[in-house]
Amino acid sequence: MRKKEETVQYSLFFIQRFKGKVLFNVPMSEYTSFKIGGPADVMAFPQDEGDLKDLIAFAEAKGFPFYILGGGTNLLVRDGGFRGIVINMSEGFKDIAWQEETKAIVGAGVKLSEVLSQCRERGLGGFEFASGIPGTVGGAVLMNAGAYGGEMREVVEGVEVLGKKGQKGFIPRSELGFAYRKAEVPKGAVVVRAHMTFTKITTDAVKEKIKEFKDRRKTTSHIAYPNAGSIFKNPENGFAGRLIEELGLKGERAGDAQVSEVHGNYIVNLGNARAKDVLSLMALVRDRVYRERGVVLEPEIKVIGEDL
């Protein structure tokens, strides 16, 4: 934890102004799909834009770092935890407002599965690639989540953001700098809603496409241990998992972290893995792939926090 006077400042702010839930000294292992991570000083759950605006203003005024947490599904938190405020968007910003037959404004805290469910009910296509992808809309936009040839940039027309000093803004798709597994928003800006457009087809066609993708995901669906999804980005003209498997690295371990025996691009937590174990295993895999195949694998997961 931070020193006592800073903890007092945190407490006074949240008691006086904040409407949402607040937790102190929170194990991040409870809020990531990896089930790994040391404590965050503070975790706050803003209920609306007012909460979020006040929270960001407070953090900036005091010089406290903050991190925006979505579903925690693409994240590794180091064993020393996070010194600052984790802003958890999972309990607010869960609105979906349909503007036209094919257009919706979707809160950053809405799960991808909920958007897909509503698309299925309305006979809207273009989002079927999200079938089986965990996480929330805000996080999916920032990493341009995708699968099987589809990506968020294909359905996102733009995003509403809350920036420094609480100013609201809208960033159109043309300015989001979408690329493979990333998007760009101004530093310090928080995505609060995404404007999304889908394609009118039929309910049966959507269901058929979803089933197709679910069938293709059967391999990774058999991964029973906690994980963060794909660890590395696919290199150009290739697949990270295939490279790792060809080098016989499935089953490789560091502590309780293991390269999945089911899929080479997954690292699983066998029960008591630490972040240092995962990072050590990632380094081993990257080194072997580079030495033997000349390919540099880039991490797809986000790593935050401090070492012990």
Which positions are annotated as active-site residues?
Answer: 181, 230, 300
Please identify which residue in the block is written with the tokens 């991570």. Answer: 37
Kind of pairing between the strands at 82-88 and 66-69: parallel
Distance CA 107, CA 193 (A): 4
Give me the residues paired with residue 23 across strands. Answer: 43
The token pair at 25 is: 């000294």
Buried b (16+ CB within 10 A) or exposed e, 220-229: beeeebbbbb
- The size of the chain, in residues, is 308
Distance CA 150, CA 161 (A): 24
User: Cα Rg for the chain, rounded, in angstroms?
Assistant: 20
Is residue 9 within 8 A of residue 42, CB to CB? The reply is no
Phi-psi region of 271 (alpha: psi -120 to 50; beta: other; left: phi over 0): left
Residue 201 burial (10 A CB sphere; 0-12, 13-18, 19+): middle
Is residue 285 within a helix (H) or strand (E), and if so which, with residue range?
A: helix 275-293
- C-alpha distances (whole Å) from 209 to each of 24, 121, 213, 217, 221 are 43, 14, 6, 13, 17
Contacts for 263 with CB less than 8 Å, ≥ 6 apart: 219, 220, 223, 241
